[in-house]
């Protein structure tokens, strides 16, 4: 999945920092600071937001789970607030929220 930057300038700065990190000139901790400053953050979703998103797309929990490559049980746990989406799942949910379920198919 391609990185999303706050702006074109931030993309350029971040790519330069990645090059410095790869060359061993910049340490991992400094690179994390560049990640925070340059990359677009993914906002966590509340259980109700996940349910509303799924219903907006007209998908059952099973169908929604298939699109996100997770189990139906996990979708249910997210919607009840027992677990919270993280990493790639959270990114996919944010893409569905912005562009619809058909964009992740």
**Confidence tier at 60 by pLDDT (50, 70, 90):** very high
Using the 8-state DSSP alphabet, how is residue 7 labeled?
A: S
CA pair distance 58, 60, nearest whole angstrom = 7
Q: Given a cut of 70, is residue 80 above it in pLDDT?
A: yes
- Has this prediction a pTM greater than 0.75? no
Q: Given a cut of 90, is residue 51 above it in pLDDT?
A: yes
Between 62 and 2, residue with greater pLDDT: 62
**65 near 28, Cβ under 8 Å?**
no
Contacts (Cβ under 8 Å, ≥6 apart) of 68:
75, 89, 92, 93, 96, 104
**50 near 79, Cβ under 8 Å?**
yes
Burial of residue 76, with CB atoms counted within 10 A of its CB: 0-12 exposed, 13-18 middle, 19 or more buried: middle
Domains of the chain: 8-38 (no CATH), 47-104 (1.10.260.40)
């Amino acid at each position: 999945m391609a990185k999303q930057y706050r702006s074109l300038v931030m993309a350029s700065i971040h790519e330069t920092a990645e090059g410095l990190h790869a060359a061993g000139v910049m340490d991992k901790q400094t690179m994390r600071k560049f990640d925070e400053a340059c990359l677009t953050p993914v906002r966590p979703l509340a259980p109700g937001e996940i349910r509303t998103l799924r219903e907006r797309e007209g998908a059952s929990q099973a169908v929604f789970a298939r699109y996100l490559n997770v189990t139906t049980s996990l979708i249910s746990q997210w919607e009840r607030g027992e677990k919270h989406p993280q990493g790639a799942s959270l990114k996919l949910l944010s893409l569905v929220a912005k562009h619809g379920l058909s964009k992740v198919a």
